[in-house]
Amino acid sequence: MVNSRLPVKLPSLTVVTPCLNAAGTIGETLESVRSQAYPGVEHVVMDGGSTDGTLDIVRSFDGVELVSEPDGGRVEAANKGAARAGGEVVAWLNADDRYEPGALLRVGRALAERPEAPWATGYCRIIDGHGKEIRKGVTAYKNWLLRHYSLSLHLTQNFVSDPATFVRRSALQRAGPLDPSFLTAHDYDLWLRVARLGRPVVIREYLSSFRMTEGTLSMEGFDSQFREHVRAARRHGAGYPVSVGANAFTSRAIVTVYRALRLSRRISAARR
């Protein structure tokens, strides 16, 4: 646990929010950053050309740096935002996610007390479109894995939550930007690269919430996501053949179970 009483010089911090037509949620996201009371936090919003009122909402928040221009999607926007970051620590927060109260102070203190650590990560809730917490079992499982963090374990599956992860800008420059060849697992690929630079500070507290709208991910997309997990593990798994093999086995098993569950739901619906 981080000793919050220890007087430390907090690192400057930049939050990057990629967005496109996020009027329904971005206000909550922006407020979750503004309410942190973190000294000197920089918030950069990279908008891809919204037409739904997103820009008016962003402009209503003082101190937010807004860039609105066409881009190639989330990865390009996130990379451009990180390139503009002036903070010593960089984080990405999507336009439908949010920080927990006090999250940035916990991160800043953790990294100040562990200057050798290139990054920090913590717990992340999963919420639905209405902000209600869902999939608590999945969250508990990921939290257990995070408490036992090692690179070998990280290579077996993706349990590091992007909205609850923060990286020193110097480490990000060494690791390189998000790779656009990964359509869904670009965060896993990046955090494995950063993990090769050193262990994270694991903060055993909730730092953020990730919004998931149930039923929006197609079976093809779900299958592709886990194929990308395997590719990322193979790419960064030199010296850890067992972990990489476990990733391939686990990914196939998860997709198989997910297919079975979807088939079962369709059969049950047809019988009604």
The C-alpha atoms of residue 101 and residue 206 are separated, in whole angstroms, by 9
**Could you report the per-residue pLDDT of 213-261, keeping only the tens digit for each?**
755 455 567 789 999 999 999 999 999 999 999 999 999 998 888 788 7
Retrieve residue 115's tokens: 């200057």
Please give the structure tokens belonging to residue 122: 């913590």
Name, in order, each residue with C-beta under 8 angstroms of 159's C-beta and a sequence gap of 6 or more. 141, 142, 145, 146
Residue 220 pLDDT: 63
Amino acid identity, position 170: S
| CATH class of the domain whose range is 13-214 | alpha beta
**pLDDT at residue 2, rounded to an integer:** 46
User: Can you give the pLDDT at residue 7?
Assistant: 65
pLDDT level of residue 268 (50, 70, 90 thresholds): confident
- Concatenate the DSSP letters of all residues of 167-234 into one string: EEHHHHHHH----TT-SS-HHHHHHHHHHTT-PPEEEEEEEEEEE--TT-S-HHHHHHHHHHHHHHHH
3-state secondary structure of 24: coil
- Distance in angstroms (rounded) separating the CA atoms of residues 62 and 123: 29
pLDDT tens-digit map of 28-43: 999 999 999 999 899 9
Q: What average pLDDT score do residues 71-84 get?
A: 97
Domain boundaries along the sequence of the chain = 13-214
Closest of 156, 192, 163 to residue 176, by C-alpha? 192
Check whether 11 has a pLDDT greater than 50.
yes
Kindly state the helix (H) or strand (E) to which residue 100 belongs, with its residue range.
none
* DSSP conformational letter for 162: G
State residue 270's pLDDT score.
78
Element (H, E) at 146: helix 136-147
pLDDT given at position 262: 74
Sign of CA dihedral 100, 104, 109, 115: positive
* Per-residue model confidence (pLDDT) at position 219: 53
Quote the CA–CA distance of 202 and 237 in Å, as a whole number. Answer: 21
Instruction: Supply the pLDDT for residue 1.
Output: 45
CB contact at 8 A, 211 and 128: yes
CA distance 237 to 244: 6
pLDDT one-digit tens code per residue, 164-183? 999 999 999 999 999 999 99
Which sign, positive or negative, has the C-alpha torsion 163, 167, 172, 176?
Answer: negative
pLDDT at residue number 218:
52
Q: What percent of the chain has pLDDT over 70?
A: 95
pLDDT-wise least confident of 8-12, 119-123, 197-201: 8-12
> Is the pLDDT confidence value at 5 over 70?
no
179 φ, ψ to 5°?
-95, 115
Write the pLDDT tens digit of every residue in 103-161: 999 999 999 999 999 999 999 999 999 999 999 999 999 999 999 999 999 999 999 99
The DSSP H or E segment spanning 115 is none
DSSP strand E in the chain: where?
13-19, 42-47, 64-68, 89-92, 98-99, 119-127, 133-134, 165-168, 201-211
